Amino acid sequence: MSADATRLVYLDHVASSPVDRRVAETICTVIKNNFGNPLNVHTPGQAAQEIIETARQNVAALINADPKEIIFTSCGTESNNFALYGLAQAAVGKGKHIITSQLEHFSILHALKNLEQQGFEVTYLPVDKFGFVSPEQVASAIRNDTILVSLTHASNEIGTIEPIAEIGKKAKEKGVLFHVDAVQCAGIIPVDVKTLGVDALTLASNTFYGPTGVAALYLKKGTRILPYLVGGTQEEGRRAGTHNLAGIAGMGEAAKIAKAEMAGNSEKLIKLRDKLAQGLVQKIPEFFLTGHPTGRLPGHVSGVVKYIEGESMSMLLDMEGIAVSTGSACVSKALKASHVVLAIGVSPEDAHGSLVFSMGKDNTDADVDHVLEKLPPIVERLRQMSPLYKK
Amino acid sequence: MPEPYNKTVMDHFMHPRNMGEMENPDGIGRMGNPQCGDIMEMYIRVKNNVIEDVKFKTFGCGAAIASSSMVTELVKGKTIDEALKITNKQVIESLGGLPAIKHHCSVLGEDALKAAIDDYLKKKTGKGLEGWKPRNDEDEHGHEAGAQKQG
């Protein structure tokens, strides 16, 4: 709906990032030339097998895992569902208690709700005002019947990077499985499964310039999991179903590029992030930032504009060619303010005015200037309409 | 370019009619609550039982702003009795449709208008709108109804 169709300032990389051109090339080449099913011994099947194994090596290398520890899935949601159902059900003999936080994505929360209905018990840990989960709190929540801790590495809504390595240590000390939803981190910041001490980790291709429709679950060697999709022997029987060959090739290529270019991208994005954050605070009265100011994702700025609502803001920004996301009820379809923004102590009325600007490697200084020019008058315009705003 | 709402809704969102406050209105209605993410305030000026002027202010999404704007268009120049016949369905129809999940916004529009009329009648006659109670609760202003319609 952009009025200025010549300009698109895309600031919603947490939702999905544009596919890198090199990745798109790889996908096109594979989809044109390869069609075989890797389960077959004939030549087209074996060619497909080789493509998948190359991609697996690249994805494994991105997170310092062994290729055998990578299971390809269809999306981050599937990986999260698979991890929770599969690990919980495989460990049910030991206990039925799971620990998570109040910051989690719906693909974690809704899967846990289902597990609760099956008799599992879930502890939802609170977070501090920055959105940090405390490793000590995790440790003290672990009971004799605790089987699993599942936490986000960084919430898409507030960007704070959690102390995963410290929590991993606590989980290991107590002999509890640890799953991390690293959809927002893998390919963006260094993620090393060995340093983090995780048993399972979710990563999704479309947050690091790969295609949608493909993701992975890292599963530490020797960890028991029940399959979620059953059928053929794909992924060593852990995830049945014909492979998304071109998608997997694209994810592999995206992983390879991410590993090589991550440091440079981060350095640039942190500068853009800090400029945007400071600019918003300076230019918009009664605006506050959310999440931790520095311990956060490189291109991520989140905050709350008081007295107005997020959907209206994002629609008017879209008219200026700026794409952002919001934590407002009106967008969530649940018609409730974002549980993540509420969890860090923002009031329900303020939570409706939350905005998330998530930048990617192709964003520029000029993009930040464009937002800082276009947003203040939009805020002013909506505030003039708002009965909550009294000058 | 794809848009989240139809042309009429977008037009009312981009160019809301009768937006603003009114000095010394004859009736004020306020509906919704900030926790649900939408609040409407409606102000009416009444002369000889006719709503001569109407203004609104809204905190909410595109559909909430468009619904408020449409209610003010529908009500301007109507008698109190005619105004009371305006329903949320009529608001939706006049807007050319709203996504089911946004139907509660039109309910809020209808209710804000009724609240303003109730306030006007109270001031004038000492008695409010007969048989009408504000539906300020989250579910009662139509969230549930909207959700069911969608399903």
A336 token code pair: 């409730």
DSSP conformational letter for A92: T
Residue in A1, A5, A352 nearest the CB of B3: A1
CB atoms under 10 Å from CB of A318, counted, come to 18
Q: Which domain holds residue B31?
A: 7-150
What's the rounded Cα separation, in Å, for the pair B109 and A240?
51
Are A186 and A328 in the same domain? no
Residue A380 lies inside a defined structural domain of this protein:
yes
Contact A174, A108 (CB under 8 A): no
A243 token code pair: 């492979």
- Chain A residue numbers with beta carbons less than 8 Å from the beta carbon of B40 are 387
Residue B79 lies inside a defined structural domain of this protein:
yes
Contact A47, A274 (CB under 8 A): no
- Among A258, A278, A302, where does a domain finish? A258
Look up the CATH number of the domain holding residue B85: 3.90.1010.10
- Chain B residue numbers with beta carbons less than 8 Å from the beta carbon of A338 are none
Write out the H or E segment, with its range, that includes residue A201.
strand A200-204
B145 token code pair: 């109804």
The candidate with the shortest Cα–Cα distance to A299, out of A9, A6, A11, is A11
Q: Which domain holds residue A170?
A: 21-258
> How do the pLDDT tens digits run along chain A, 391 residues long?
445 556 899 999 999 999 999 999 999 999 999 999 999 999 999 999 999 999 999 999 999 999 999 999 999 999 999 999 999 999 999 999 999 999 999 999 999 999 999 999 999 999 999 999 999 999 999 999 999 999 999 999 999 999 999 999 999 999 999 999 999 999 999 999 999 999 999 999 999 999 999 999 999 999 999 999 999 999 999 999 999 999 999 999 999 999 999 999 999 999 999 999 999 999 999 999 999 999 999 999 999 999 999 999 999 999 999 999 986 655 555 567 889 999 999 998 899 999 999 999 999 999 999 999 999 999 999 999 999 998 6
What's the rounded Cα separation, in Å, for the pair B17 and B68?
9
Look up the CATH number of the domain holding residue A200: 3.40.640.10
Are A285 and A301 in the same domain? yes
Buried b (16+ CB within 10 A) or exposed e, B35-54: bbbbbbbbbbbbeeeebebb
DSSP conformational letter for A345: T
> If contacts are CB pairs under 8 Å, which of residues 318-337 in chain A contact chain B?
319, 328-331, 333, 335, 337
Helices (H), chain B: 7-14, 62-75, 80-84, 88-94, 103-125, 144-150
Are A305 and A333 in the same domain? yes
Test mutation, A384, A386, A389, chain B, max B CBs within 10 A: A386
Nearest chain A Cα to B59, which residue?
A: A386
Look up the CATH number of the domain holding residue A294: 3.90.1150.10
Test mutation, B61, B138, B149, chain A, max A CBs within 10 A: B61
Q: Is the pLDDT of residue B146 over 50?
A: no
Contact B97, B112 (CB under 8 A): no
Are A177 and A203 in the same domain? yes
Q: With 0-12 CB in 10 A as exposed, 13-18 as middle and 19+ as buried, what is B137?
A: exposed
β-pairing verdict for A287-289 and A215-219 = unpaired
Residue A2 lies inside a defined structural domain of this protein:
no
CA distance A358 to chain B (A): 21
